[in-house]
Structure 1
């Protein structure tokens, strides 16, 4: 006579087998998906309190709420517990820890291969958008190699010959009113660029046969409070429209530069307006990624600026004001938000240069 216990054991093993078998394809399918496109959004100087300001000042829910995969990065540079933007951005663009002030070079001042250069070798289009001069530390770290970030005229001279296909920001003085009196307009045209120094006008020939450069102010774009308008959103939209013509995919870095400047100025209103503008761009990137289904979106910062805190105003717990502990950078951990194929890889706590490697491992551009 068959023992009832044997029936129970057999049934349990069958249920376990079916459960394991049904779960296995989900795991395999997640691992098999590789994003075609990558959008990296960097809020310069944007720590957790800067991000939090978007939850308290504004009439809509911030787009940060749309992310499910969130991590933290440690931002120390090779030679400092507190990083500057150059070393911080080079960690993202080259996957190395380097010294403060370095742009696309290692601690021995040797040029290192950038993510945009790796992408270009795979015939992937690349773009950079910024509200600062495009020769500033963060955007420069995605196309240039110099020993010091202050070498902005040398950085400018490297842009036309770089692998960048689309660029939008400011900095005309570094290209056309240089101390060496060299006007780089000819270099742009020789390298196949359509150059616009007046406005974000979509050129008639918007094909990948030409590169596109928008340089719209002498040094940096105006503050939001000074009437910059939706430059960052419009430039990002143009960049996505242009770059997405490449069937091989694209990499786009967008920087909200002036969040950092609000921190340096200890100006809470400046921060709030710039974060709100940056959040609008996050929404557009997420909308694009949701529609296409093949795009990895990463939002982070190179460091926090100002030791910014959202504190009660004179003890009133229903009123918040921003306060600061420094006019420089701080060492606080920085959030990383990720969406799309490969986004699960960005959870946890890790070094800032790991973002480069996580992107590489997600897209298989090696």
Structure 2
């Protein structure tokens, strides 16, 4: 009878309309360009070398970013919507409008499906965007409280800045030592090779890492590659959030050189993630932004000299222009590639990213 088991199993599966072999839930990679609107993406096509990796996408949409308290969101409210599916007020870190903690996509995937988890940011790992994936506090400036949430979060891999919120705290706690006591392999000096059999944490600056124009080097693509290698080491699926933080800072500074270089660095990192998706088809990559910063446009370039009241146009050249040094209400792009990519085209509110991610995970397994 044992020789009849396999074909009978298949027959039952077809009869009951269930798969004979359940596929593992897909890996999820979420790449967030803080402050990255369509103009910032466009800069990669005009100022970069070669064809930008953005062009490798065919599933593209637009996302509305306003929070429940403001038409112009901040990073905290926007990341809360993406991470939890709940729209909240500006400054909220994964809490509802009445400040009740709301489970994040990272927490749900780990709890329901056993996902391994990773976070990378160029700012402090306690900054608004990364914090929204593991912490729950009423205000984004509660960095010490957010750091304490990371200690209890169980995140498998994290890399960024923010060392002072772990070691030089007002309450005297040494969270760095507490992480080590939990078994983390930690490094505060460099992005050294991860230990595949332990949780790994990298806190490489007291606050934020430098920008590209300040000499950051290849931290973002290197950390993305290292995180992928580490999270892929075991059989379990993984959730990996990577943030390109300084696109936003370039907008606040109205610094066109910084913006161009940060978007180029982001695109380089994107290429690494897209290559991974192509090599590992059971992976979903989502690329989006929390909001746009700077009211950026790409327009004709002019000489600074004005002759007879007219600026002199430079033929066939464009320049980055800023309308303000603040966030804007512009819709931001969303790109999808891999398992479940068809869930993401369209125009929708930012909290639907969470809903569509969960739907993709549940329908692709």
Does TM, scored on the shorter chain, surpass 0.5?
A: yes
Is 1:85–1:302's contact at 8 Å kept on the other side of the alignment?
A: yes
Is 1:156–1:174's contact at 8 Å kept on the other side of the alignment?
A: yes
Q: Distance in 2 between matches of 1:94 and 1:158?
A: 16
Q: How far does the alpha carbon of each residue in 1:48-78 deviate from its partner, in whole angstroms, 9 at most, with x for none?
A: 1100000011212110000000000100101
Residue 243 of structure 2 corresponds to: 255
Residue 14 of structure 1 corresponds to: none
Residue 335 of structure 1 corresponds to: 333
Task: Verify: 1:50 aligned to 2:37, yes or no.
Answer: no
Deviation at 1:292, TM superposition (A): 0.9
Residue 11 of structure 1 corresponds to: none
Structure 1's 302 and 317: CA in aligned 2 closer, same or farther, altered over 3 A?
Answer: farther
Residue 187 of structure 1 corresponds to: 178
Is 1:54–1:275's contact at 8 Å kept on the other side of the alignment?
A: yes
In the TM superposition, what are the counterparts of 1:109-124 in structure 2 within 5 Å? Answer: 109-121=99-111, 122-124=113-115
Deviation at 1:321, TM superposition (A): 1.2
Q: Distance in 2 between matches of 1:242 and 1:364?
A: 24
Task: Verify: 1:62 aligned to 2:52, yes or no.
Answer: yes
Deviation at 1:180, TM superposition (A): 2.4
In the TM superposition, what are the counterparts of 1:198-347 in structure 2 within 5 Å? Answer: 198-203=189-194, 205-207=195-197, 210-314=198-302, 315-347=313-345
Q: How far does the alpha carbon of each residue in 1:283-317 deviate from its partner, in whole angstroms, 9 at most, with x for none?
A: 10000000011110010000000001111112334
Q: Distance in 2 between matches of 1:179 and 1:206?
A: 33
**Count of residue pairs the alignment pairs up:** 334
Is 1:89–1:137's contact at 8 Å kept on the other side of the alignment?
A: yes
Q: Distance in 2 between matches of 1:227 and 1:217?
A: 14
Residue 127 of structure 2 corresponds to: 136
Q: Work out which of the two has the higher radius of gyration on C-alpha atoms and give 1 or 2.
A: 1
Deviation at 1:246, TM superposition (A): 3.0
Deviation at 1:33, TM superposition (A): 7.9
In the TM superposition, what are the counterparts of 1:50-129 in structure 2 within 5 Å? Answer: 50-121=40-111, 122-129=113-120
Q: Distance in 2 between matches of 1:96 and 1:290?
A: 31
1:145 to 136, 149, 164: 136
CA RMSD of aligned residues (A): 1.8
Partner SS state of residue 305, structure 1: coil
Structure 1's 58 and 89: CA in aligned 2 closer, same or farther, altered over 3 A?
Answer: same
Q: Distance in 1 between matches of 2:254 and 2:323?
A: 9
Partner SS state of residue 93, structure 1: helix
1:157 to 132, 148, 151: 148
Q: Distance in 1 between matches of 2:236 and 2:164?
A: 35
Deviation at 1:268, TM superposition (A): 0.9
Q: Distance in 2 between matches of 1:339 and 1:274?
A: 22
Provide structure 1 residue ranges, at least 5 long, that are not aligned to the other structure.
1-28
Is 1:42–1:255's contact at 8 Å kept on the other side of the alignment?
A: yes
Deviation at 1:245, TM superposition (A): 2.2
Provide structure 2 residue ranges, at least 5 long, that are not aligned to the other structure.
1-18, 303-312
Q: Distance in 2 between matches of 1:40 and 1:317?
A: 39
Q: Distance in 1 between matches of 2:236 and 2:339?
A: 16
Q: How far does the alpha carbon of each residue in 1:8-33 deviate from its partner, in whole angstroms, 9 at most, with x for none?
A: xxxxxxxxxxxxxxxxxxxxx9xx98
